[in-house]
Structure 1
Amino acid sequence: MLKTVFANHELENPFMNASGVHCMTTEELNELYHSSAGAFITKSCTPLQRTGNPEPRYIDLPNGSINSMGLPNKGFDYYLDYVTHTPYRKLCFFSISGMSAAENLDMLRRLETSSFDGVTELNLSCPNVPGKPQLAYDFEQTERLLTQVFDFYRKPLGVKLPPYFDFAHFDQMADILNQFPLTYVNTINSVGNGLVIDPDLEQVVIKPKNGFGGLGGPLIKATALANVRAFATRLNSEIKIIGTGGITNGQDAFEHLLCGASVLQVGTQLHKEGPTIFDRLARELSDIMKKKGYAAIDEFRGKLKDLS
């Protein structure tokens, strides 16, 4: 019932982790692999290991989370060694997030010549150059980078995007993405630069950036659904959508699929529950589909109705 095809791989279900959650170490990656998730992704990596921002840098909230992690990771070689020396039958995604275009291009060149046969995710939604916006908010730079990437990269590749809030920006980014043979677009990353306050202590709750951080979980679901829907109706049919943001139960998953997502990434709630969450999500989504009379995801995927 929940099986789906993505990048020429059949997945048992559409669920996987969001990069950054439960995927830092090989031990965590192995736990994802042995979970009931349909696929899994590595931590967004930089060429060299990074310790990230000072703690506290992640806080669970009653309606979501806030974080300013600073891209802590074990470094490109650590994850490349894992994905090229671990025999796995589940689709594996490899996430990269260089601090410059040159770093991204170098990592992609190494992936291109490696034995990695999964799917690569180029994270365009992390800070690039200090004082500059996230790369995906700079449309000219995004187009320039993707042009350079597809001059040589031939393996399956997707991009992870930040949230957009204006129809003109949906249109502009879709026009750029449609120029390239992308496998997918992952939308959204956390909603940037939120601020959460502890009213008793009268202070912010995380240390980096004077308390400013990315929001995740249920409080960003409406924004995530809007971005999934916006890109699903603007991108070429060959470019699939991974829906990320606010998935805590089967109903959330159903709504993402209804908006046009093909695969679903779970972040905040995975952090709270651990990999056993995928059993619950699959069960709840199956129950909803049965009640509605759907035997397969493709029977309703992308078929959200407008009021008319």
Structure 2
Amino acid sequence: MFSRVQRLAPLALNRGFATAAPKKSHRLMKSVLALGAGGLAIWYGWDSIRATKFYWWCADTAMPLVRRLDPEKAHRAGVLIAKYHLAPVDRSFYPELKTSLMGLDFNQCVGIAAGFDKQAEAINELFKSGLAFLEVGGITPKAQPGNPSPRMFRLYEDEAIINRFGLNSEGHSAIVPRLQKEYLRQQKHRLGLIGVNLADNKGTPDPVEDYIEGIKNCGPYSDFMVLNISCPNQVGTTALQQESRLREMLDRIYAYLNTLPHHAPLLVKLSPDLLPEEREQIARLVLEYGVDGMVISNTTVSRPDSLKSAAKTEKGGLSGKPLKEKSTETIREMYRLTEGKVPIIGVGGIASGEDAYEKIKAGASAVEVYSALVYHGMGLVPKIKKELSELLEKDGYANVSEAVGKDVEL
């Protein structure tokens, strides 16, 4: 026979476990809730942290380390930093930089050019970094790898880049769902405008049909569409700027657009290497068809004698500081030829508010940056906006739109 103590011992132990287990579970639950609440507090306050001067300083300080990477890997790192909410946040706002063109309201006139976020991975986060608009792409209908690596080269001494990516794209099937998600997000909480840079596939039997496919698939999820007919890194694309080819393209594209109840504004992106007669022909066609705008300019295949870097002999399109004057001159001439009737987005060699201001006075209504970010980091964006605002005030302009084309005689 068991003694009374022996009989009661298991019962006491069971009772002990019965009371101890809930206490332990309760403590665990409180810890999980505390961690979750802390995590949520950090998450919702993360944008505020990324907006601090210290965070911007850290981001700028890290740029020399990023530049030690292979250029294409550094570019990829930049996209991933933005995609995963690590890019700094810019909350500066200048009312005088607000502008309207093509029926769209730009909350600031500074955006980022096509080529950075090629696959629509970081749209919202780039807006948070102070950019008012961007161009996704170039986007081709079918996925294509582009040209073999290496295909991106830094020209340090010249603050320039040569690239021959060859329109590497994940194609409509991968990119359109991301576009749709981001476009719907922007409809609810507008931070910026989404442009899609449309391109044709390498070796396509019908380039125009590729652009129409881009309009069909990407157009519904964009604020504006850009026909990239000037990429120098894919055989045959720049030939689409020839008068007969461009007329055929616009004929077919507008025949399709006219079947739609409404569509996003349509722009063409032009080369800085156009001959004077080619500029005149394009200007006439743009006016004739009522093209909504022009993006000027793409990269150049020319190589100025001033280039110092060893990589200057690499094939591809040159962008950055050496492109600035050529791009600005093309803007000025196309503004004159279209009598200031067609809005221009200026891009090419912008690294300061003064550079942006030069393009605006030459005829650009808004500007895009890209290559300079490789050398100066995202801190360049608020710097350009601040400097541009100061230049407008100095010259007595209440709004950036008042300065557009002021250096051009019509």
The answer on whether the counterparts of 1:243 and 1:264 sit within 8 Å (CA) in structure 2 is yes
Specify which of 188, 208, 211 is matched with residue 104 of structure 1: 211
Q: Per-residue deviation at 1:85? A: 1.7
> 2:129 is paired with a residue of what secondary structure?
coil
Q: Report the AA paired with residue 152 of structure 1.
A: Y
Q: Report the AA paired with residue 277 of structure 2.
A: A
Match of 1:239 in 2: 342
Q: Which runs of 5+ in 1 are unaligned?
A: none
For each residue in 1:73-123, what CA deviation from the matched residue of structure 2 results, as whole angstroms up to 9, or x when unmatched? 2212333212222211121101110132221122223345xx425111110
Q: Per-residue deviation at 1:25? A: 4.1
Q: Per-residue deviation at 1:15? A: 0.8
* RMSD (CA atoms): 2.4
> 2:154 is paired with a residue of what secondary structure?
strand
Q: Per-residue deviation at 1:205? A: 6.7
The answer on whether the counterparts of 2:266 and 2:291 sit within 8 Å (CA) in structure 1 is yes
Bigger relative CO (Cα 8 Å, ≥ 6 apart): 1
Mean Cα deviation higher: 190-199 or 85-94: 190-199
Q: What pairs with 1:40-189 in structure 2 (closer than 5 Å)?
A: 40-61=134-155, 62-63=157-158, 64-86=160-182, 87-88=185-186, 89=190, 90-99=192-201, 100-111=207-218, 115-126=220-231, 130=235, 132=236, 134-153=238-257, 154-155=262-263, 156-189=265-298
> 2:289 is paired with a residue of what secondary structure?
coil
Q: Report the AA paired with residue 230 of structure 2.
A: S
Q: Per-residue deviation at 1:194? A: 4.3
Q: Per-residue deviation at 1:193? A: 5.6
**Does 2:15 correspond to 1:15?**
no
Check 1:170–1:205 CA distance in 2 against 1; reply closer, same or farther (3 A cut).
Answer: closer
Q: Output the CA distance in 1 between the equivalents of 2:222 and 2:341.
A: 19
Q: Per-residue deviation at 1:237? A: 4.6
Q: Which structure has the larger Rg over C-alpha atoms?
A: 2
The answer on whether the counterparts of 2:162 and 2:316 sit within 8 Å (CA) in structure 1 is yes
Q: Per-residue deviation at 1:265? A: 1.2
Mean Cα deviation higher: 237-246 or 215-224: 237-246
Mean Cα deviation higher: 189-198 or 163-172: 189-198
The answer on whether the counterparts of 1:17 and 1:270 sit within 8 Å (CA) in structure 2 is no
Check 1:172–1:164 CA distance in 2 against 1; reply closer, same or farther (3 A cut).
Answer: farther
TM-score, scaled to structure 2: 0.66
The answer on whether the counterparts of 2:240 and 2:246 sit within 8 Å (CA) in structure 1 is yes
> 1:107 is paired with a residue of what secondary structure?
helix
Q: Per-residue deviation at 1:29? A: 2.4
> 1:48 is paired with a residue of what secondary structure?
coil
> 2:330 is paired with a residue of what secondary structure?
helix
The answer on whether the counterparts of 2:229 and 2:237 sit within 8 Å (CA) in structure 1 is no
> 1:285 is paired with a residue of what secondary structure?
helix
The answer on whether the counterparts of 1:184 and 1:239 sit within 8 Å (CA) in structure 2 is yes
Q: Per-residue deviation at 1:51? A: 2.2
For each residue in 1:177-231, what CA deviation from the matched residue of structure 2 results, as whole angstroms up to 9, or x when unmatched? 11112111111100026498865xxxx578xxxx311111110111111110111
Q: Output the CA distance in 2 between the equivalents of 1:247 and 1:222.
A: 10
The answer on whether the counterparts of 1:194 and 1:214 sit within 8 Å (CA) in structure 2 is no
Q: Output the CA distance in 2 between the equivalents of 1:271 and 1:25.
A: 19
Q: Output the CA distance in 1 between the equivalents of 2:316 and 2:122.
A: 24
Q: Per-residue deviation at 1:53? A: 1.8
Q: Per-residue deviation at 1:288? A: 1.5
TM-score, scaled to structure 1: 0.87
For each residue in 1:40-86, what CA deviation from the matched residue of structure 2 results, as whole angstroms up to 9, or x when unmatched? 11011111222222222112222211111111122123332122222
More helix by share: 2
Mean Cα deviation higher: 63-72 or 140-149: 63-72
Q: Which runs of 5+ in 2 are unaligned?
A: 1-95, 202-206
Check 1:170–1:225 CA distance in 2 against 1; reply closer, same or farther (3 A cut).
Answer: same
Match of 2:371 in 1: 268
**Does 2:362 correspond to 1:293?**
no
